[in-house]
Chains A and B, each alone.
Chain A
Amino acid sequence: MNPVLAIQMMLAATELIQTLAPIISKAVSGGEASLEEQARVRDAVDKLRLRLASDDLGDHWRVDNDAL
């Protein structure tokens, strides 16, 4: 792969990892699930239920066969 492209892709992925990092930290903390953590997980699943029910996951979830 072109080295410049590889670096650009790595930078884009780094941004993504930074987005996921707080979620990962909470998920691997183990031990006792605090009241706040339980509420966060419940809220996340409740919101996901609504999005799935309305088939509204966002434009980035549409398969666009003409994009490339």
Chain B
Amino acid sequence: MRHISKLAALMLVLLVPLGCKTRLAQGGAYTSPTLYEADLVISTSWSICDSVVRWESDNRELLAQVPEIKRAADEIRQHAPTALRAAIAARDAYEAAGTEEAGLTLDGALTGLRQVATEAMSLLSQYGGFEP
């Protein structure tokens, strides 16, 4: 049950729009909450996707009894790197320009990345016995 609530909390983090919750301690690596939150989404999404494809790879013999799992993991393998690159490029462009347009592009890129991470979490919930 603890695991289920943690997964639910993580899904909330992935869905929170930029600029909604974070205050930054002064003197840190970030001066912009938007950039911090973008990097938090990027790093968290990476951790989720990397962990899920590793889980599939490490347990392939066992999970082979449900071929849908490898197919879904391969979808993540194909789409996550592209989504991560797009999100990083968009956050860099926002850092350089700081315009509303760059902010919208960043939101779009992070939405694409959240979608891939959500699919990875769905794989766990569907086949790992956990509901997000």
Contact = CB atoms under 8 A, between A and B. Distances in A.
B30 to A, nearest CB: 5
Interface of B is mostly: helix
A62 B77 contact: yes
10 contacts: A10-B128, A10-B129, A27-B13, A28-B10, A32-B22, A33-B30, A41-B39, A57-B50, A68-B60, A68-B67
Interface of B: 3, 6-7, 9-10, 12-13, 21-25, 27-30, 36, 39-40, 42-44, 46-48, 50-60, 62-67, 70, 74, 77-78, 81, 84-85, 88, 124, 127-130
Contact residues of A: prevailing secondary structure? helix
A21 B10 CA distance: 9
Contacts of A27: 9-10, 13, 40, 44
Contacts, number: 147
A12 B25 contact: no
Interface residues of A, number: 45
A21 B6 contact: yes
